[in-house]
Structure 1
């Protein structure tokens, strides 16, 4: 019964990580080379930052971002329109028993990093983080 429990909240397995990275590399290569028959998609430079795979390896979510962060919705729309061809090309280049369905999402990691940096640069936060001059003199 323990094997059938939901893995939600658990860290991904080594196999999930390995397959996700293989899909990420292959998808990046396909997009970089322009192997898809869509001129709109081929003219975009899209970064695939991460691919997360479900425990059963049937579904993969690719986190993508167009170069410079501009045209996110257009890039996402093009990827979704070409998802069947992308899946076929990626599967052909990989040696997997099953071809996972690939879903595409915009990677918001960089936005969160910028927001964190902005928050840490605020004067009141800097004041709270400042170390008093006599903090190291407790033993003296």
Structure 2
């Protein structure tokens, strides 16, 4: 997520409440547009996209949308198509979310599910299960 730094001690904090709220509103607006599937771009024909997360820059002028295809990964051509239709998506988001500036939209593949599946596979390995299993208790007299 976007990070901001405090003036005291330089400790790093997460995004502000406003960033989180606006990013979630943008996610809902994008999801609604993708649900309508009204793209003229041939690379986006029959594209089923899930917007899993949106991260906002501190000034709310840039939004990074993490997207994944339903049941399959998006291709490079589909990401290129998303970049081509981003002005249309920007207008749709501007109509749905009232902001001073319409944010520029950037698209990234969502790899969280792949990462979770990889971690799950590692945790199921026998040598890891052995280490994670219940520890023997020592009986005391």
| Alignment TM-score, normalising by the size of structure 2 | 0.84
How many Å separate the matches in 1 of 2:92 and 2:55?
A: 19
CA RMSD of aligned residues (A): 2.4
Distance 1:79 1:49 in 2: 15
Q: Is the contact made by 1:31 and 1:42 (CA closer than 8 Å) also made in structure 2?
A: no
In 2, Cα distance between equivalents of 1:41 and 1:3: 42
1:69 is aligned to 72
What is the distance in 2 between the residues matched to 1:8 and 1:84? 36
Report what 1:83 is aligned to.
86
- Is 2:105 aligned against 1:102? yes
Q: How many residues align?
A: 136
**Paired residue for 1:126?**
129
How far, CA to CA, are the matches of 2:139 and 2:18 in structure 1?
50
CA-CA distance at 1:81 after TM superposition: 1.3
Query: Residues 16 and 138 (structure 1 numbering): CA distance in 2 closer, same or farther, change over 3 Å?
Result: farther
In structure 2, the residue matched to 1:12 is 15
Q: Partner residue of 1:26?
A: 29
**Contact conserved, 2:82 with 2:107, CA < 8 A, in 1?**
yes
Q: Which runs of 4+ in 1 moved over 6 A?
A: 2-5
Q: Is 2:47 aligned against 1:47?
A: no
The answer to which structure has the higher helix fraction is 1
- Asked if the contact 1:50/1:64 (under 8 Å) is kept, the reply is yes
3-state secondary structure, aligned to 1:68: coil
Unaligned runs of 5+ in 1: none
Unmatched segments (≥5 aa) in structure 2: none
